[in-house]
Structures are given as structure tokens and as C-alpha cells.
A and B are shown apart, each in its own frame.
Chain A
């Protein structure tokens, strides 16, 4: 499946835009601030029901306009294999965000996740390595959710009950009274969904790792050993006792201090944390390999390649790694690519030789024009 056209109304710096995309490679070139990343973000919206840049929907409406609207049409990769699918996202402040596929609304937004997968590689991705555990949980949660709908469901249930339990703890702080029966009810709920999430994360990490290591070595051209280690308080066989023992601490701190909401994923290079010991180049390779492993595992599970969005990454990579990426994009079973670059000449040189269907777009202050390669 590939995105055959994109239509925007009042989205970020676009007033109104309609473009036909190539089934292969799409390059957006233009000055800083012209609106290249915004285009990738619109595609991200269609796939994930939210943007990758700004999680506040209302701030994605073009300044001064009442609502935004994004529409895209997916077509089967093989001619004649199934009908196209039209995806639509609309948002107006004060109203529910509307996601429609073929004009039909979802009962739950969550049902959309994973149907039109994308993988985004962006310049600030190294935050994944350098920043706190929340970003890493989000990264893995987002991948697993796209591959397994029941995982997303469990995650939502868990976080809902967690919020309730934390409210209970806060009330204890105010009133010094705690309903032990109600606490036990929330504990049961959290232990049940927590166990399911733990099992999924552990199982997924194993499968992911098997794809990640070769990707890292392929990308860096070296033989360094990598490891992704899932770290969870639930790994301990007696975790349920530990959870219950944490109640004194929970009451003192007025929140839940034990559980899968505190999980982390450790990234190791030759047995050492990349965060501390990896060079900048190693960190960049690591994070791109993480994204490519996401690409690989999604292809494997879905049976087709997700759309790859490369935002402004050529600046950050040396020639060898750019060559590797071009190798991947050139493969026959590679799907569809959207790439942005502030330097048109570089992109033209890189892609000119590739024997693939491709289009080049010049982006200028919220206007897009197709130009010759």
C-alpha cells in the first residue's frame, strides 16, 4: 500500500494543498521554515491520529483558521489488488477529533492504529538514547501497539487504573484515610494488566533485538555487539509481593511507585550503555538502527513495508551511512519514502541515479510545486 495523494486544509502553515505522491520516492526540498516537516507530520497524523511535533491538536490548526483537515488516499501496491482506502482526519476545537476511513467513523480511535503504519526518522531522535525512560517506553509502546491491538487496549486500561489509584493516594494525603478494599481492587486491576504488558514487552524486545543487531552492524559497517535490555520491576518472580510492600512508600509519596509505568529499555554497545560511552556517531547509528528495526519488524508482521519518513537527516550523517540508507531505499521490496532536505542539490544528486519511481517537490512558504529531477 502506498499514499497516492495528500490533501491539506488549514494544517500548520498550509492554507490549502493537494499533491499527488510517487509510489516510490518523494523528496521535499526548500528553505528552513518553509513547511517540509509539516508535510511529514500530516502523513504521521493520518497514520497515528496525532502529530509527531505538537501533541496539542489545536496548535496544528493554521493560525487564525477555525479547523484543520487532512486527507490521504492509500492504493494497493500491485495494480488491481484491492480498492484504495481514503483516510481523513479533521479537528475543530471543542469537538471530538474525527478519523474516517472510506467516510466511515471509528467507534474507538485506537482501532485505527496500525492500519497504515509509518516509521519516522527525525533529527531529535537521539533524545531516545539521551533522555529519560519515558521516551523509550513511548517508542516501544507505539511500535507494539501498531502490531498488536490488544496491547494498546491493555496499556489504556493500565493507565486508567493507575490514574485512579494515584488519585486515591492523593486523597489519602489530604484526608489521612484510605479505603483498603478499594485499594485492593485497583491493585488487582493493575497486577492483571501489568502482567500482560510485561509479557508483551519482554516477548517483543526479544524479537526486536534479533532484527536490531544486524541492522546496527549493517549501518555502521562494524562488528560491534549491541543489546537492547528490557528492565522491569516485574522481572522478579516475587514482584507481586514487592508491589504490595511498596504501599508505605506509595502513601508517603502519594503516587504508585511500583509497576510497568517505570519500565526502561537499556541500550548497550559492547556491554556498555551507549548513552554514557557511545560516541556521537555511534549514538546516531544506534538510533537510526532502532528505527530501521522498527521498519523491519513492522514489515515482517504486517506483510508489507510501512511508509518511511526521513526528516532532514542527511545533515547529520556521514557519507557511508547515507550510502547504506540509499541501498535500503533502492531494494525492490522497499515501500514508499518521503524525505525532506533544505539542500536541493544534495537530494537531487543522491536520488538521481536510483531506478525508482520518484518525484521532487519544491516547498516555499506553505506552497508546494513539483519540479524536474
Chain B
């Protein structure tokens, strides 16, 4: 695409970096912005700047947070004996939307896959183990809500081994639900039910 303006070209370049946005859509968005009041663009860029500079991750569960410890982790109404382990923040949002879960979370930040350069050290696994060990038996159950893929299996299996001597129950939510990014599209009733009817996680027998 040829642009009559270098400024437009730069803006299009920026917009088209987003997933699912091609050059044509980017141009449409840029031209739209130009048609609006100047103030709108200012508040738009301010919001983005704030987001980027002020966003924090909860030091306990690694969920996105405005404060050092997130509102879920500090809430007195949550059941502190339950920790639900998920791949990323999308999954927290999806499970929260079901209103069926009242425990805490732990966001791994990905899934184990050495061939993609992701080992346990790249993920928030050690902090999970520390969290369980450090709370004097407060945590009683770890619920694994990871994707039903071979990597999800590996990660569940790995975590189960890591916490096996910590005296916690390990369970997993019912399968057949697409997880990992897609979890947000799963209907809330199904997801809610699968959390309530979770089953014991058994280490695969060798």
C-alpha cells in the first residue's frame, strides 16, 4: 500500500502490529481517529501509557493487578484453602465470569514446552510450590485447570510431582473443554459445572 503521508504510514504500521489487524483495517482505524476530536486521541494514548507504566502483576498469584497484591488475593470473602492453577490471565477472567469459584488463583504465565524454549524455570511454578509450603497448611487443594493438550498434561503432571510431598489434594477440572486462550469462549455454565465437579488428579501409572 502506498500512502500520501509519512505520518499516516507510521500510524498504520503501528496499528497493523496487533493480532488480526491487517493494513487495510489499520488504515480504517487511523482515518477514523483523524475524524474524531483531538481530545479523544489524547485520552486514548494516555490510557495506553498509563496501562503500560502502571500495570503490575500480583506478587502472590501473578494475576494482573493495580496494587502489589491483587483484589482476589486480599479479599476476605475468598476461600483461601483453594488455589486454581491456570495458564494465563484470560483463564482467570473466564473462570471469574462463571461465579462458581470462590478460591484463589495462580497464573503460570504459560505452559511447559522445551521445544518452544519454555521450561519450568520460565514459568511461575516455584512460587506456587513456595506458596503452598509457606502457608502452614492453609492451602488444602490445588485445582489444575490447564489445556487438554500434551503440554497441558505435562505441566499438570509436573506440578503434581512438585507438590506431592506438601500434603495438599490435587484435582483437575473435567476434560473436553477447550482451554488456554479458548477458555474465554467456553460457555459459562459448562465451565462453572466442570469446576464444581472436578476430580482427583491421579499420577499416570507407569
Q: Residues on A close to B: CB < 8 A?
A: 157, 160-161, 163-165, 167-168, 171, 179, 181-182, 184-186, 188-189, 191-192, 240
Contact = CB atoms under 8 A, between A and B. Distances in A.
A188 B120 contact: no
A335 B121 CA distance: 57
A169 to B, nearest CB: 9
25 contacts: A161-B154, A163-B115, A164-B114, A164-B154, A167-B114, A167-B115, A168-B114, A168-B119, A171-B114, A171-B119, A179-B119, A181-B162, A182-B112, A182-B114, A182-B154, A185-B157, A185-B161, A186-B154, A189-B150, A189-B153, A189-B154, A189-B157, A189-B204, A192-B206, A240-B206
A192 B154 contact: no
Contacts of A161: 150, 154
A182 B120 contact: yes
Contacts of B112: 182
B201 interface: no
Contacts of A157: 150
A229 B157 CA distance: 36
Given A167-B115, A181-B158, A160 B150 contact: yes
* Pairs A-B, 5 closest by C-beta atoms: A167-B114, A167-B115, A168-B114, A185-B157, A188-B206
Contact of B157 (A163, A171, A188, A191): A188
B113 interface: yes
Contacts of B157: 185, 188-189
Q: Tell me which of A179, A184, A185, A186 has the highest count of chain B C-beta atoms within 10 A of its own C-beta.
A: A185
Contacts of A160: 150
Interface string B43-70: 0000000000000000000000000000
Contacts of B204: 188-189, 192
Contacts of A191: 206
A181 B119 CA distance: 11
Interface of B: 112-115, 119-121, 150, 153-154, 157-158, 161-162, 204, 206
A167 B204 CA distance: 22
A164 B115 contact: yes
A161 B153 CA distance: 11
Nearest to B116: A167
A185 B206 CA distance: 10
Contacts of A192: 204, 206
Contacts, number: 47
Contacts of A240: 206
Given A191-B206, A192-B204, A185 B154 contact: yes
A161 B158 CA distance: 14
A181 to B, nearest CB: 5
A165 to B, nearest CB: 8
A72 to B, nearest CB: 33
B120 A179 contact: yes
A283 to B, nearest CB: 39
Nearest to A171: B114
Contacts of B121: 179
A21 B114 CA distance: 49
Given A161-B154, A182-B120, A182-B158, 4 more contacts: A179-B121, A182-B119, A189-B154, A240-B206
Contacts of A167: 114-115
A108 B206 CA distance: 28
Given A186-B154, A188-B206, A192-B204, A181 B114 contact: no
Contacts of A164: 113-115, 154
Contacts of B119: 168, 171, 179, 182
A181 B161 contact: yes
B158 A185 contact: yes
A192 B157 CA distance: 14
Nearest to B151: A164
A298 to B, nearest CB: 30
A167 B161 CA distance: 21
Nearest to B149: A160
A359 B167 CA distance: 74
A3 to B, nearest CB: 36
A171 B153 CA distance: 21
Nearest to B203: A188
A160 B119 CA distance: 16
A182 to B, nearest CB: 6
A171 to B, nearest CB: 6
B22 to A, nearest CB: 14
Contacts of B120: 179, 181-182
Nearest to B113: A164
Contacts of B115: 163-164, 167
A163 B161 CA distance: 22
B147 to A, nearest CB: 14
B154 to A, nearest CB: 6
B201 to A, nearest CB: 13
A7 to B, nearest CB: 33
B113 A184 contact: no
Contacts of A165: 114
Given A163-B115, A179-B119, A184 B161 contact: yes
Nearest to A163: B115
A192 B153 CA distance: 14
Nearest to A170: B114
A8 B111 CA distance: 43
